[in-house]
Amino acid sequence: MPDTEPIKPIFTKGLKGVIANESELSDVRGEEGRLLYVGYEIEDLVELCSHEEIIFLLLNKRLPTVEELAGLQQRLRNDRDLPQPILDFFKTATKSARPMSALRTAVSMLGMYDDRTKDPSQMKEIGLSLIAKIPVMVAYYHRICEGLDLPPIRTDLDEASHFLWLLKGTEPDPNEAEILDTSFILHADHGMNASTFAARVTISTLTDMYSAITTAIGTLKGPLHGGANEAVIDMLKEIGEEENVESYIDGKLERKERIMGMGHRVYRTLDPRAPHLRRIAIRNCQHIGEPKWIRMSDKIAKIVRERKKLNANVDFYSASVYYSLGIPTKLFTAIFAIARSSGWVAQLLEQLEDNTIYRPLTKYTGPSEPMFVPMIDMR
């Protein structure tokens, strides 16, 4: 039914400051530098919960019982296998394709082989399947591109450990799995960010879950959203050594170039996820004997904070975390997608609980009623 309420348009580029919907999932308090999932402080969740508990929390808006957590774990672990056409696609796709491009296309392809898309009541089940399969697709595509064998799917490992098993083909190190698990928690959801908003717009048309998640992945692929951590590690490699940091950053600032991983559209103080990522980055960089990455990162953060009043965001220290785990730089954004998949699914299910199709207005700035001249008269 058409909306008959009078519209009072408000113009703000990029919808900055506009509240486009309500949500019970993540509470991003930018002025306070706080992040809560379903009312729980992110600091408490990182200390007390596993990533799989956070998946349950976001999908059900409450923490699980022991039995419910075991049921979710079993559900995810039994749905990791990929259809053969997806593996065939990975083997025939150009090896120069970025992992996010391959993941986007593979998720779209998955929808072609799932008859459940015709049944709206299966949205949550499809979402769980995607949460289980996205890590497998990221790891398998990488190994195929590198000419490596594909480790068999296992059902005895949690999400973080299983991803490391598939990626490296060796028994996962418990320390590394714990670090990755923490990173997954910190990236799980974050209000109406660009990819979540894009996915909500897509699902608001009552399309299927695969289409909406494909939208989200395509949006996250952009360097202004999910690709920043790749740019951060590239910057650190370019700097090379700690003594080069100040001159490098000075040059960037003089040329008015962006320092990737610094500043945030919402937080006016420190991104509450950054200290946790810094902590685990310190831990693992020291563990592997390469503390220079965190020392350079800290020096960059200090200079930019003093000169530009900008703080490190979630991308800044996640770069050192992933690099210290031996994860190839080209996979950084795909790791973000793995972590955010549960948040996307939860946001999409919430959108459908009380759905209204998104239809903002645009402010026309083109010509005002130009005179039409028939083509024949232009000769």
The residues assigned a catalytic role are 264, 315
The helix-helix angle for 314-324 and 174-186 (nearest 10°) equals 160
Q: Which two tokens stand for residue 158?
A: 């949690």
Q: Which two tokens stand for residue 297?
A: 């990162």
What single-letter amino acid sits at 235?
Answer: M
Distance of CA 149 to the CA centre of its chain: 27
Q: Is 130:105 a contact under the CB 8 Å cutoff? A: no
DSSP three-state, residue 317: helix
Give the Cα separation of 180 and 318 in Å (integer).
10
DSSP-derived secondary structure letter, 37: E
Helices (H), 78-227: 84-92, 99-110, 123-145, 159-168, 174-186, 194-203, 209-220
CA angle 86, 92, 96 (to 5 degrees): 110
DSSP three-state, residue 228: helix
Give the Cα separation of 30 and 271 in Å (integer).
8
CA-based R_g, the chain, Å:
22
